[in-house]
Homo-oligomer: A and B are copies of this chain.
Amino acid sequence: MTASAENPLRVVVWGENRHEQLEPHVAELYPDGMHNAIKAGIEENLGQRAVVTTALLDDPDHGLTEERLSQTDVLTWWGHAAHAEVSDEVVERVHRHVLSGMGLVVLHSGHWSKIFQKLMGTTCTLRWRGEHDRELVWTVDPTHPIAQGVPHPIEIPEQEMYGEFFDIPKPDEIIFISSFTGGKVFRSGITFRRGHGKIFYFSPGDQDFPVYHHKDIRRVIANGVEWVATDRPERRIPVLLRYDTGDFFNGQGYQGPLSDEAKANEVPA
């Protein structure tokens, strides 16, 4: 989707907003919450091509009702301390919307969120350390739209370290690989397509460091928001359909796995 001022992307920045409430040093870095820093970074880059709002864990339904999601082109996700508090019902709803075509940008410790784990099918575990390491973000896919407009490498003076092995499926694309003080490496910018939805995972960003105020990081997140926005004209989840011989375009809903004969033989449950 090519966003424009006439037809802007509808972006929802989801934030857990707990560290900012519980830890004074985080509140100092992000006085309006990390979600608002992320929001500002998207607005700064996309301007009138996006209308950005926020939704928080403590909002009713975590701010992610069916109605809200159905009017969302791209959702960004940051969570850490309270992954377990996200309701399974909302996770199912977000999952369904992603498979139906809503774009998803997963940020930093969102790697361990329920929604990312559900989409990946793996543990999404990694190695980490919060020790003021320098991170360098190197581009390995220089023609990718998400890699445009940032230096090679992006330098982040202080950041939490994330290291391999990162237990994810093989990404569709690896755009960035990071190194950290001490020599750890991490596939830090990666894409996945799931159902009719596109996903961008980007690891830089932590509550303890001002990473979401970093100009280049904000640009990458904005690039990612634009890239995950679907080009498809409609939102629809893939379904099982039976096609008669010679029918290419209509299909019929699924009627169950057993023949009528077998169903008659079955003892009712």
Q: A140-B166, A193-B170 are in contact. Are A22 and B118 (CB under 8 A)?
A: no
State in angstroms the CA–CA spacing of A99 and B167 once bound together. Answer: 9
A165 CB, nearest partner CB in chain B, Å: 6
A43 close to B (CB within 8 Å): no
Q: Which residue of B lies closest to A139 (CB)?
A: B165
A72 close to B (CB within 8 Å): no
Residues of B within 8 A of A163 (CB): 138, 243
A23 close to B (CB within 8 Å): yes
A244 close to B (CB within 8 Å): yes
Residues of B within 8 A of A192 (CB): 169-170
Q: Which residue of B lies closest to A140 (CB)?
A: B164
Residues of B within 8 A of A230 (CB): 143
A247 CB, nearest partner CB in chain B, Å: 9
Inter-chain contact A121/B123, CB cutoff 8 Å: no
Interface residues on A, range: 35 or more
- 136-173 of chain A: CB within 8 A of chain B: 136, 138-145, 148, 151-153, 155, 161, 163-167, 169-170, 172-173
Inter-chain contact B231/A23, CB cutoff 8 Å: no
Copies of this chain in the oligomer? 4
Inter-chain contact B194/A127, CB cutoff 8 Å: no
State in angstroms the CA–CA spacing of A245 and B165 once bound together. Answer: 17
Binary B-proximity of A1-26 (CB < 8 A = 1, otherwise 0): 01000000000000000010011100
- 221-262 of chain A: CB within 8 A of chain B: 230-233, 237-246, 248-249, 251, 257-259, 261-262
Inter-chain contact A262/B23, CB cutoff 8 Å: yes
Inter-chain contact A128/B243, CB cutoff 8 Å: yes
A268 close to B (CB within 8 Å): no
Q: Which residue of B lies closest to A208 (CB)?
A: B259
